[in-house]
Amino acid sequence: MACATDAGKLEEIYSQGQIAERIAYLAKEIARIYGDEPVVAVCVLKGAFAFFSDLVRAIDNPHLEVDFVRLSSYGMNSESSKHVIFSKDLETDIRNKHVLIVEDIVDSGYSMRFLLDQLLVRQPLSLRIAALVDKRERRSANVLVDFAGFVLESGFLVGYGLDYAERYRALPNICELKFVAAGE
Ligand code: IMP
Ligand code: MG
């Protein structure tokens, strides 16, 4: 599927069916790792909302809790992504609990590194990462994704929670946004 928008061209990379298949697989893996032990699944807003919602409902664990964080990067230059703050923190006390962070995309890894460091000092029993997309080309921070939906080298993705300037989050599939230069 391809369609032109004013921002660029959208090309489907992962269909609704492919996403559902991967989530079913990840949910089984996650359920196997935690068994019936309590686990706090942490949704990283906004981008992970669709993935999170589908994933937690597919994990067979009666002791799974949900909570939400939101991160913001600040600064004006390209280095700014290294400076991350919470714009919404957890409400749950995670000390001595298993924690599963659910993120949309791990790209440079700076946001995830920040979140890992913030949560590790709260002494969770374990801390793992599920990411819809593990995008490796620009990885600079030391972050390993435990459960990856899809592994990709590069490309700017939108849909299924992922945005470009807040657009396209509600698309049911994942598309690559191919930017078109002005005048093209
Ligand atoms: P980081 O570079 O790993 O810190 O990525 C930070 C955030 O940038 C991710 O969690 C996404 O929300 C966003 N991001 C990175 N790559 C993409 C993309 O291809 N599409 C939409 N958002 C992205
Ligand atoms: Mg994100």
Residue 4 is predicted with a pLDDT of 57
**43 C-beta closer than 6 A to ligand 1:** no
Q: Rounded to whole angstroms, how far apart are CA atoms 20 and 33? A: 20
> Which residue out of 54, 60, 67, 107 is catalytically annotated?
107
> Nearest C-alpha to atom 13 of ligand 1 is from which residue?
105
Strand duo 2-4 + 8-14: pairing: antiparallel
The verdict on whether omega for the bond into residue 97 sits within 30 degrees of 0, i.e. cis, is: no
**131 C-beta closer than 6 A to ligand 1:** no
Walk along the chain (184 residues) and give the pLDDT tens digit of each residue: 555 566 789 999 999 999 999 999 999 999 999 999 999 999 999 999 999 999 999 999 999 999 999 999 875 555 546 789 999 999 999 999 999 999 999 999 999 999 999 999 999 999 999 999 999 999 999 999 999 999 999 999 999 999 999 999 999 999 999 987 766 5
The ligand 1 atom nearest the CA atom of 109: 3
Which of these, 63, 18, 66, 3, lies nearest to 174 by C-alpha position? Answer: 18
> Nearest C-alpha to atom 11 of ligand 1 is from which residue?
105
Residue 49 is predicted with a pLDDT of 98
Torsions phi, psi for 87 (to 5 deg): -100, -10
3-class secondary-structure state, position 111: helix
pTM confidence score: 0.93
- Alpha carbon 81 to chain centroid distance? 16
Amino acid letter for position 25: Y
Based on the residue annotation, tell me whether 54 is a catalytic residue of this protein.
no
